[in-house]
Structure 1
Amino acid sequence: MANAIAYLKMNGLGNDFVVVDARASKIRFSPAQVRRISDRETGIGCDQFIVMEPAPYPGADLFMRIYNEDGSEVDACGNASRCVAALVAEELVKSEILIATNAGLLVAQVNGDQVTVDMGKPKFDWQDIPLSEEFRDTRGIELQIGPIDAPVLHTPSVVNVGNPHAVFWVSDDPEKYGLERFGPLLENHPIFPQRANISLAQVISPDKIRVKVWERGVGLTLACGTAACAVAVCAARTRRSGRKVTIELPGGALQLEWRESDDHILMTGPWALDGRGELPAELMMEPAA
């Protein structure tokens, strides 16, 4: 590695990221490199590895490339969007930042340590989520864990909010359901050809929902911005909540609004800078052919 690569360590409600600025250097990372960097024991450690790249078209301020800790590239990450927006807003001395992603253009409004991101419109059609078979009503699909006559989890709402999500509605604290056991099975269930993020959601009141998330390619996480979006729109769609709701995650709370005028999802929450460093050369080495 000829030149050291600087990184920032950031987080949104404990959902943590290693962020690299490749807008000038055009650095690309292999899945193996991402896995080594993301490893919490031998690398830097993070839920997602984020690469800031040049804007792909006029109007955007940059492109945000997102990798899960397992090296897979994904299209959306709400918590990382807030962190990146805050960085670029300070750099460009403006409050509105336009972030291009594989899921589309995100508009972020930065106000100090709070950032509101327009996450766009949710997709509810079974082919858009996607599912491997047709379900006309995705407010609740046939999928369950446990005995047929007494399932532990069943009938999730499904949606795509930049990536696929399944939301299981539970009556008790989500911590009681053993998501660490069921998460891998549900993430990789054949009904989800691109795998899925799995959430357990307990409706506390029409404007407050408690959520625990198993994130695709990551595992249990303190917070997941797109999962919060998924829960909010699915709760409103199934009349469990209104269109404005507080989503309580293990790492903290996000404010969600599924805007009635255009069906866009607005997510508001904090961001934090945890530290800076340079990627060690051994993490960037590729195995010999």
Structure 2
Amino acid sequence: MRFHKLHGLGNDFVVVDALDDPDLARRAEEAAPALCHRALGIGSDGVLIAVQSERADFEMIMVNPDGTRGMCGNGLRCFARFLSHVGRTAADRITVDTIGGVTTAYLFPTEDPASGEVEVDMGPPTLERARIPMRVTADQDAGESVIDQPLRVGDETFAMTCVSMGNPHCVIFVPDPCAMDLARIGPLVEHHEEFPERTNVHLVQVVADDELFLRVWERGAGLTLACGTGACAATVAGAVSGRSGRKATVHMPGGDLRIHWLPEGNVMMRGPAVTAFVGEIELDRLPRL
């Protein structure tokens, strides 16, 4: 199987063109845990598979290292850049069908066709408890927003603001994300009973009205250097909680994204997508994980 390895701010992906081969799409998805394994496979935070779509220019199947399907903003930028690089599109605007709905990606001119800036219209955020989704008890309103509500994790209580960007995010504002043990806190929140489909977890520091710092624990992947949908969710959470504005540069260990929650409701995300290398791998040689 031929593949391209791309990353967006160090959030890296194995990308596969299965537009003309549905069986390859199936095999690549089944092999995703091994492909993502950094010792036994290629190594990545996810596998992106390009397939045909009936409602958009392309469909992106995103598979996490644990084999579950997901949604990823950094992956969307890489996916769009990949399609342009391999000649599947010459357009500067494409629509992509994802598990979270149809999105639009804008490719900016670049001297290197394998790398460059991409802006993605991530659509509107979802703030309603039931649609994130979160647990709804008898005394809770399914349509309520979850803003600065307490979340008990072991002996600690955090104020959480929850947002869906096509996937669930639990945003926790703290004075210093680097002073906290996200490797310990992340899985406890990800698997908390409040989140029936688990959740991404973010520790966020407000640097200025238009500047945030974010550390990421991704659902199904663990600690990663960056998260596009997480940066969008953090910006929305900052705005709805009154901590920051609707437009922000979001710093992450892997680099920066520019996020704008438009007055009309959609969230725009802009940042780089870089091709690291191209290769081939024999799927039959990979272990079953």
2:40 to 36, 39, 42: 42
CA 1:146 to 1:206, structure 2 compared with 1: closer, same or farther past 3 Å? farther
1:159 to 160, 163, 178: 163
1:124–1:159 CA contact under 8 A, matched in 2? yes
2:239–2:245 CA contact under 8 A, matched in 1? yes
Paired residue secondary structure (2:129): coil
CA offsets, 1:160-205, max 9 Å, x none? 1110000001012x11100001111110001100000000000001
2:124 to 121, 133, 139: 121
2:28, 2:14 → 1: CA distance?
15
1:99, 1:87 → 2: CA distance?
13
2:19–2:51 CA contact under 8 A, matched in 1? yes
Paired residue secondary structure (2:250): strand
Displacement of 1:114: 0.8
1:119–1:267 CA contact under 8 A, matched in 2? yes
Structure 2, gaps ≥5 residues long? 111-115
Q: Residue type of the partner of 1:122?
A: P
After TM superposition, the structure 1 = structure 2 runs for residues 113-262 of structure 1, keeping only pairs within 5 Å, are 113-133=116-136, 134=140, 136-145=144-153, 147=155, 151=156, 154-172=158-176, 174-260=177-263, 262=264
Paired residue secondary structure (2:260): strand
Q: Residue type of the partner of 2:78?
A: C
Q: Residue type of the partner of 1:139?
A: I
What is the Cα-based RMSD across aligned positions, in Å?
A: 1.6
Identify the residue that residue 7 of structure 2 maps to in structure 1. Answer: 11
1:138–1:158 CA contact under 8 A, matched in 2? yes
Paired residue secondary structure (2:127): coil
Displacement of 1:234: 0.7
2:270 to 245, 252, 268: 268
Is 1:80 paired with 2:82?
no
1:31–1:70 CA contact under 8 A, matched in 2? no
1:30, 1:124 → 2: CA distance?
33
Displacement of 1:137: 3.6
1:65, 1:73 → 2: CA distance?
7
1:32, 1:103 → 2: CA distance?
21
1:43, 1:284 → 2: CA distance?
7
Q: Is the deviation greater in 31-40 or in 7-16?
A: 31-40
2:90 to 77, 89, 93: 93
Q: Residue type of the partner of 2:231?
A: A
1:115, 1:32 → 2: CA distance?
29
Normalising to structure 1: TM-score of the pair? 0.90
CA offsets, 1:139-175, max 9 Å, x none? 122203364xxx4x51110011110000001012x11
2:208, 2:42 → 1: CA distance?
39
Paired residue secondary structure (2:175): coil
Identify the residue that residue 102 of structure 1 maps to in structure 2. Answer: 99
Paired residue secondary structure (1:89): helix
Paired residue secondary structure (2:19): coil
1:89–1:97 CA contact under 8 A, matched in 2? no
1:31–1:72 CA contact under 8 A, matched in 2? no
Q: Is the deviation greater in 106-115 or in 89-98?
A: 89-98
Identical aligned residues as a percent: 37
CA 1:122 to 1:283, structure 2 compared with 1: closer, same or farther past 3 Å? farther
Paired residue secondary structure (2:130): coil
Displacement of 1:6: 0.5
CA offsets, 1:257-282, max 9 Å, x none? 0000x210000000100111112243
